[in-house]
Chain A
């Protein structure tokens, strides 16, 4: 979905480094999400935010932090990266206007930690 932009698209880094993944959206949605995708495990929720002042942990938040800088921006940080955080990371947004609206995904960031 071109309305949800993730940067960078690919990143290779070393163990112990701090990394920030960024997500911006032009859909005007209140709700934003960070997931990681691992082969055979599907998508798992890391953090989610319902507005700028609302941050919530998801299923696998350990080792990650997030910042909702504005309605349109939601960044994910790995303070000290470790190899098992190598994965495909997705940002998603959803309208809060009505319940059970579908989420809209960015094209992902492929992160490799050596």
Chain B
């Protein structure tokens, strides 16, 4: 079975500082990993994904994520946080069956302080 864990319910960071939102995963084979962002009263928006290849994945809005197989992690990062980055962030893993469904973490609320 596959799963993801987001160990932090809340992350606070000052505007202009680097941010990291953590995600660890558990799968039996090669992982397919995703990050989504949710703004208030909106659905989830896709940020980036890792399927194979380079361990550093670049995505929308200046975000990137680093895949680390030995630590089974896929942390989301941004070099300089903006107030507008404040939102709820979800990590997800694709299942290993033909259905390719997603299993989501519990979410991390990021607050960027001006």
Residues of A within 8 A of B (CB): 1, 4, 33, 40-45, 48, 56, 58, 90, 92, 99-100, 102-108
Contacts and interface: CB of A to CB of B under 8 A. Distances in A.
Contacts of A99: 100
17 contacts: A33-B101, A40-B9, A41-B106, A42-B90, A42-B106, A43-B104, A48-B99, A90-B44, A92-B44, A99-B100, A100-B32, A100-B49, A103-B46, A104-B46, A105-B43, A108-B41, A108-B42
3 A-B pairs with least C-beta separation: A105-B43, A102-B46, A42-B104
Contacts of B100: 99-100
Given A43-B44, A102-B34, 9 more contacts: A42-B90, A42-B105, A45-B101, A99-B100, A100-B94, A102-B49, A105-B44, A107-B41, A108-B42
B12 interface: no
B83 interface: no
A99 B44 CA distance: 19
A93 to B, nearest CB: 11
B42 A107 contact: yes
A97 to B, nearest CB: 12
B6 to A, nearest CB: 8
Interface residues of B, number: 22
Interface string B70-114: 000000000000000000001000100001111011110000000
A40 B49 contact: no
A40 B102 contact: no
A48 B101 contact: yes
Contacts of A92: 43-44
B15 to A, nearest CB: 26
A44 B107 CA distance: 12
A100 B44 CA distance: 16
Nearest to B34: A102
A92 B100 CA distance: 14
B14 interface: no
A100 B51 contact: yes
A59 to B, nearest CB: 8
